[in-house]
Amino acid sequence: MKIAVMPGDGIGPEITAQAVKVLEALKTDGLQVEFEHALIGGAAYRATGVPLPESTVALAQASDAVLFGAVGDFSLDTLPRHLRPEQAILGIRKALNLFANFRPAMVYSELADASTLRPEVVAGLDILIVRELTGDIYFGTPRGHRIAEDGPFKGEREAFDTMRYAETEIRRIAHVAFQAARKRGGKLCSVDKANVLETTQFWRDVVTEVGKEYADVELSHMYVDNCAMQLLKNPKQFDVIVTGNLFGDILSDEASMLTGSIGMLPSASLNESNFGLYEPIHGSAPDIAGKDLANPMATVLSAAMMLRYTFGLEEYASRIEKAVQTVLASGPRTGDIWREGKERTGTSGMGDAIVAAL
């Protein structure tokens, strides 16, 4: 099995190196993987002039899965939009048709005090956000600038974007979400703004229709503004949340911050055939890059998700997850999750500790 490794920017190289280290360690126990590296994001722009070189897309297409670090580099923020590092992540999602984004937000009992929420509100939290990732206003056309043709601002400059969803796009992500809910708590909450937006009324209608095939899953609908409140008021009311690309971007970040430790949260982005890109949900953290300070656990847990979702290797996946739990319980910790009484370590030391716990 061939894994394309795309470290990206900032702390990306350090954290992906630890995940590779963990996967390498499992090789001695029979895991068959090989790695090939490619540039992406700011790193690719600096080397090749574009954030997503064709060779990087080609490598992904010739691989079975992608292990992704992070992209983003403030010093490139003044480039024209199509050259900025973030465009690489949008481009690769689209090129590989990674329409289903899984973002779990769970609170480890050892880290319940990391949240800014009261412990009783978040202890034991375990939500899965399923975000549609290749449609919506992220990719809809037309978009750009124009002179307003009518209305009160006729004749002046305006900018615009198009939110849109076709029926198949909604249908396939709904199936993915219902199936995920079936394997978990059996509850699915679909989030939209159907009281205002045509696109999301259509979303609600199609999700409701697909729901008829999943009588065992309890489906509910919620407006996005209310969901942003309910995640704070009572986050444990949720099991699986499914929503579009834009609302998913906002709500999944909010949900991950409920846990207080975004250095712990992995994610998966899949296409129809379970090919996937796996990445930590946190960013490239340029301020601590190259200093052996970053927490690699989210990336290591992303590698575990890869073994489970793309390769169907449940056993190896849960070995990694248990090793992470062991280190959390009794091992050293990086600064972001360090507590009085715990040994302090760096990115690489954390990788070693996880390998030792395997």
Residue closer to ligand IPM, measured from CB, 62 or 196: 196
138 catalytic? Reply is: yes
Annotated ligand binding at 293? The verdict is: yes
- Cβ-in-10-Å burial (0-12, 13-18, 19+) of 82 comes to exposed
In terms of DSSP bridges, do strands 126-132 and 100-106 run parallel, antiparallel, or are they unpaired?
Answer: antiparallel
Quote the CA–CA distance of 254 and 351 in Å, as a whole number: 28
Q: Binding string, 217-236, against ligand IPM, x = CB under 6 A?
A: --------x-----------
Residues, the chain: 358
Neighbouring residues of 115: CB distance < 8 A, sequence distance ≥ 6: 107, 122, 258, 259, 260, 261
Quote the CA–CA distance of 13 and 20 in Å, as a whole number: 10
Catalytic pick among 138, 214, 223, 309: 138
Residue closer to its own copies, measured from CB, 165 or 214: 165
Residue 89 makes contact with ligand IPM by CB under 6 A: yes
**Residue selected from 49, 75, 78, 157 as contacting its own copies according to rule CB under 8 A:** 157
Annotated ligand binding at 291? The verdict is: yes
Residue at 300: amino acid letter: V
Quote the CA–CA distance of 245 and 200 in Å, as a whole number: 11
Q: Binding string, 235-264, against ligand IPM, x = CB under 6 A?
A: --------------x---------------
Annotated ligand binding at 192? The verdict is: no
Neighbouring residues of 314: CB distance < 8 A, sequence distance ≥ 6: 307, 308
Residue 111 makes contact with ligand IPM by CB under 6 A: no
Annotated ligand binding at 287? The verdict is: yes
**Residue selected from 32, 55, 61, 195 as contacting ligand IPM according to rule CB under 6 A:** 195
**Residue selected from 47, 58, 166, 329 as contacting its own copies according to rule CB under 8 A:** 166
Residues numbered 171-230 forming contacts with its own copies, rule: CB under 8 A:
193, 195-199, 201-203, 224-226, 228-229
Residue at 255: amino acid letter: A
How many residues interact with ligand IPM (rule CB under 6 A)?
Answer: 7
Residue 196 makes contact with ligand IPM by CB under 6 A: yes
Annotated ligand binding at 226? The verdict is: no
- Cβ-in-10-Å burial (0-12, 13-18, 19+) of 16 comes to buried
Quote the CA–CA distance of 349 and 3 in Å, as a whole number: 23
What residue numbers does the annotated binding site cover?
Answer: 93, 103, 131, 225, 249, 253, 283-295
**Binding site residues, ligand IPM, CB under 6 A:** 86, 89-90, 195-196, 225, 249
